[in-house]
Amino acid sequence: MQETAEIELVPVNQLRTHPANPREGDIGAIVQSIQANGWFGVVVAQKGTNHILVGNHRVMACQYLDIETVPVQWVDVDEATQKRILLADNRTSDLASYNVHQLLDLLQTLPGAELHGSGYDGDDIDQIMKQAPLPPMDFLDPPVTNRTCPKCGYRWELAYAKEI
């Protein structure tokens, strides 16, 4: 970490997206996030070239929203380090995963319209629920295998096997 991080408000039109950035961001989702939550974080840019190493798409969203200045942390690093920063910023988020049950719990604390700006919508929640593994059923002792709908009387059998 650089001992003296220079952070200043910089006019957006002075920053340049990095020409080697392979990432294609969802500018619309970023715009919605900034509209709902405001700006958070800083852009990291190379001193001298003004190339953005971290925050290329957030700056594009700012241009769309006519935001004139953003906080920038200036770094002065060689070309190989610039590329590693650019790659690492993109790749480390790709390598992360979610605890699906915690994610669903968190999303379900935001009713309908409050999801705006989170990057998620109801369709996303439906998709996550389809992918979520069922929680362990160890609490069933003995396992209940037959069920009856209390409203219509429909009966079905659960296929449940407990490892011993």
Residues of each domain in the chain carrying CATH 3.90.1530.10: 6-96
Q: Tell me if the pTM is above 0.75.
A: no
pLDDT at 164: 46
Helix (H) or strand (E) holding 151: none
Mean pLDDT of 57-80: 96
From 3.30.360.10, 3.40.50.10860, 3.90.1530.10, 3.40.47.10, which CATH number describes the 6-96 domain?
A: 3.90.1530.10
Return the higher-pLDDT residue of 118 and 43. 43
Return the higher-pLDDT residue of 114 and 18. 18
Reduced to 3 DSSP states, what percent helix, strand and coil does the chain have, rounded to the nearest 5?
A: 40, 20, 45
The proportion of the chain whose per-residue pLDDT surpasses 70, expressed as a percent, equals 78
The pLDDT-based confidence of 61 (bands split at 50, 70, 90) is very high
Mean pLDDT of 97-101: 86
pLDDT at 132: 73
Mean pLDDT of 80-108: 89
Average pLDDT, the chain: 84
